[in-house]
Amino acid sequence: MRGHDGTPRIIVRKADGSHEPFHEEKLVKSLRRAGASDEVIQEILTHLAAHHYGEMTSQQIYEHAFRRLKQHEPFSAARYSLRRALFSLGPTGFPFEDFIAEVFRAQGYVAQAGVRMQGKCLDHEIDLVAERGNTRVFAELKFHNDPSQRTDVKVALYVQARFADLESHARTLAQAAPYLLKKMLITNTKFTQSAIRYASCVGLSLLGWSYPPKGNLRDLIEETRTIPITTLVHLTQTEKDALLARGVLLCRTLLEHPETLEDAGISKTKHDTILDESRYLCGGGRGVYTRW
Amino acid sequence: MRGHDGTPRIIVRKADGSHEPFHEEKLVKSLRRAGASDEVIQEILTHLAAHHYGEMTSQQIYEHAFRRLKQHEPFSAARYSLRRALFSLGPTGFPFEDFIAEVFRAQGYVAQAGVRMQGKCLDHEIDLVAERGNTRVFAELKFHNDPSQRTDVKVALYVQARFADLESHARTLAQAAPYLLKKMLITNTKFTQSAIRYASCVGLSLLGWSYPPKGNLRDLIEETRTIPITTLVHLTQTEKDALLARGVLLCRTLLEHPETLEDAGISKTKHDTILDESRYLCGGGRGVYTRW
């Protein structure tokens, strides 16, 4: 997107304070991924070019695109907002634990959030313990409210030491014997390069929003259609909070128990629209819809 | 300190929000330790009783005592403020690293702050490496700006994992062989109970302001007379900052290089007073004065 003299009209100010020219391909890709039509994508780009120039943050570009997408294709807007929807699960991080447990259940694991376990030196609360076949996953979760905050090597080191303490105990009791143990650190943002280097060196699996390149958190959420209700465009924040407070985390749960909408005090006139949106986003079950 | 009906007049509000009655013995003990005379201690208690009642924080009680002690016996006031003086080394924590290196040097160690070392998985910057005889100390430092902030088990776990990574590498190279390795975590505040339990289980030595009961940071500072210039009552904050910026951390350095006072732009009329105070606090050298 360039001005008449060929210079880029929009400069993106990144979270770390640095700048880069705006590349519309990235925006097009994420809009297409959300299911936006070529027509609407073109409309968004034209509007952006006509009304904006100079410095913008990614967040501002996102908001511009989301607002216009919501006007034209609300269901695509919901998909588009998925990453932000995870942040709306904050600020405590507890719904994030429950949400990740759901993502594992949808993959066929028996999963439990917040499990107390005995290590050699300490009692630990493990954020997620999941089992499938002879594999047992121990996962520590790191939820960030701020999308630009990466999970750093200190967290990876701390998590590794916790698992080492658990393993020292388990080895004594030979408890871990029948299991293939997988140690994980899961975050809703990114990892620093040092965290990635250290984790790969000590055998700690990392799962972030877009890490690893394939099979990352976004991929798993989309494949299993484990869509949080915070994604829904037709719910206000108050309505989302009321549902979360009742333990309703997923669109799927709304479809299975539509009566929770009434329990949460949501106006009857909106129920059908909300259920339509939920059906579109998470389908009737696993694998019914093709990949977004 | 009680009112006419026998109820305590002053209630101490603690950092965690809980309350306890004010016990004057604790205040008396710390004032006596700083060298305050019985007369002045009595004066402080009487003034406190006459002018204060209801809820006070420890900080408020400290400030009251410090103000009056400073009026009557400024040198005792300086000693009394030692713990707070460490906080004035903040907020970056770098002067704290240098300061702790000085405490180790005063004990006969060859000490270096901020040493880069190769681990098996990562390069680490170790806050302090100190050697004396065949003992090598690796120390990680945790500086808190807030006195009520304890160093918790996450820090101990993280530090332990760093040392484990260094040891994995050292073992490969058999570098650590001639040394008795001592791993330490040093803080200017307190440790949580879990941190203490974990550290003792994995062989990590802890050193805090008042932990362990003997040989803690306060004891070491007093025994070695490694007094930070932030303790000096006769310097303003601006003057302290000017000296710190020139790398002058210790009263001892002022005595050895009194010309730094002029370099830092401190008025000549104050030099003698400042040097007198420094001489009183840290003496001419190690072991010249009896224990405070």
Nearest residue, CB atoms, A121 vs list B122, B164, B197: B197
Q: How far is CA A125 from CA A38, A155, A183, in A?
A: 48, 15, 14
- Mean of the per-residue pLDDT values of chain B: 86
Residue B153 touches partner A, C-beta closer than 8 Å: yes
Q: Which residues of B touch A160 (CB under 8 A)?
A: 161
Name the residue in chain A with its Cα closest to that of B162. A157
Kindly report which listed range (A24-33, A279-288, B28-37) carries the lowest average pLDDT score.
A279-288
DSSP track, B114-151: EEEEE-SS-EEEEEEEEEETTEEEEEEEE--SSTTPPB
Assess whether pLDDT exceeds 60 at residue A2.
no
Question: What pLDDT is attached to residue B286?
Answer: 38
For A123, the closest chain B residue by CA position comes to: B194
- Average pLDDT for residues B140-167, to the nearest whole number? 93
**Nearest-Cα residue of chain B relative to residue A203:** B121
Question: Residue A198: its chain B contacts at CB < 8 A?
Answer: 121-122, 165
Res A193: pLDDT: 96
pLDDT of B284 over the 60 cut: no
Does A154 sit within 8 Å of B122, measured CB to CB?
Answer: no
Model confidence at B133: pLDDT above 70: yes
Q: Distance of CA B6 to CAs A53, A90, A152, B9, Å? A: 73, 49, 55, 9
pLDDT surpasses 70 at B178 = no
Task: Reply yes or no on whether the pLDDT at A133 is more than 60.
Answer: yes
Contact A161 B165 (CB under 8 A): no
Mean pLDDT within B167-174: 69
Contact at CB, B122 and A161, closer than 8 angstroms: no
Among residues B98, B166, B91, which one has the least CA distance to residue B136?
B166
Structure tokens at B90: 């903040």
Alpha-carbon gap: B159 to the closest alpha carbon of chain A (Å): 8
Instruction: Please indicate whether, in this complex, the C-beta atoms of A194 and B122 are within 8 angstroms of each other.
Output: yes
* B161: nearest CB among A121, A160, A197: A160
Percent of chain A past pLDDT 70, that is, above it, reads 89
Q: DSSP strand E in chain B: where?
A: 10-13, 19-21, 54-57, 110-118, 123-132, 135-142, 180-187, 205-207
Report the residue count for chain A.
Answer: 292
Q: Chains A and B: how many Cβ contacts under 8 Å?
A: 44
Ranked by mean pLDDT, the top range of A21-35, A69-83, A254-268, B4-18 is: A254-268
A105: closest CA of chain B, how far (Å): 29
The type of residue at B232 is: L
pLDDT at B287: 37
The H or E element containing residue A187 is strand A180-187
Q: For residue A198, what is the enclosing H or E element?
A: helix A193-202
The mean pLDDT value for B213-242 works out to 90
pLDDT attached to residue B175: 56
Q: Pick from A158, A166, A193, A204 the residue to mutate for testing the B interface (most B CBs within 10 Å).
A: A158
> Looking at beta carbons, which residues of chain A come within 8 Å of B203?
none
- How far A149 CA lies from chain B's nearest CA (Å)? 19
Inter-chain CB proximity A202 and B121 less than 8 Å: yes
| Confidence class for position A7, pLDDT limits 50, 70, 90 | low
pLDDT of residue B292: 45
Name which of B162, B164, B197 is nearest A122 (Cβ-Cβ).
B197
pLDDT value at position A286? 38
- Higher-confidence residue of B174 and B98: namely B98
Predicted confidence at residue B9, as pLDDT, reads 78
DSSP string computed for B168-213: HHHHHHTTTTTSEEEEEEEESS-B-HHHHHHHHHHT-EEE-SS-SS
- What are chain A's domains? 10-80 (no CATH), 94-224 (3.40.1350.10), 225-282 (1.10.150)
